[in-house]
Amino acid sequence: MSSIVIIDYGMGNLRSVQKAFEQVGCDAVVTADPGVAARADKLVLPGVGAFRDCMHNLEAGGFVAPIREHVAAGKPFLGICLGLQLLFTESEEFGRHQGLGIIPGRVVRFPEGLRDGGESLKVPHMGWNRIAIRRASPLYAGIPDGSFVYFVHSYYVVPEDPRVVATETGYGQSFCSSIWRDNVMATQFHPEKSQSVGLRMLKNFGEL
């Protein structure tokens, strides 16, 4: 079985991601060692918290080069939640901050005054919502269109190239809820918290 490495840069519920992989029969290692990440067959970047702090920790931990080299080598990569946002050029969270620049585009905040019909919507967007599959990423093999997944976020990604959008979700507006470009897959939602649907996604990734 090829090695799945989950990057530990001090931000994210890494054990829950590791346990979810184990639940579907995939061995996954959590590491704070960039050398281990550099040797991985498959790399997972989870994350919660502020974009700027996460980028600082990635840089301080020596993970930026291994991530870029892994992606450039064509090896499977999965970003989760903030791990999706960090792939982009820049974020507007608490100012303007540079990301990894792997996927051209920006990270923006949900606007104030979002409504669903007559109902006012809160930010952060938190809880279960549907994904509309726009491109059949390998992550979504066997996943029905319209499946429910679990979200917790106030910011979302706006890719420059709409062809990288794998799923969209509605929350007062339509937004990109996951991407797929070649070997890079990343979700705004949390597969590890999305019950059987999310576990199937992680199994699909593990079997790539």
Can you give the pTM of this predicted structure? 0.97
pLDDT tens digit sequence for 110-156: 999 999 988 999 999 999 999 999 999 999 999 999 999 999 999 99
Domain positions in the chain: 4-206
Dihedral-angle region of residue 204 (phi above 0 means left; psi in -120 to 50 means alpha; beta otherwise): alpha
Residue pointed to by tokens 């498959």: 42
Which residues are designated catalytic? 81, 190, 192
Q: Tokens standing for 181?
A: 């470009």
CATH architecture of residue range(s) 4-206: 3-Layer(aba) Sandwich (3.40)
pLDDT in tens, 143-194: 999 999 999 999 999 999 999 999 999 999 999 999 999 999 999 999 999 9
Place of tokens 């809880």: 127
Q: Among residues 41, 130, 49, which one has the least CA distance to residue 86?
A: 49
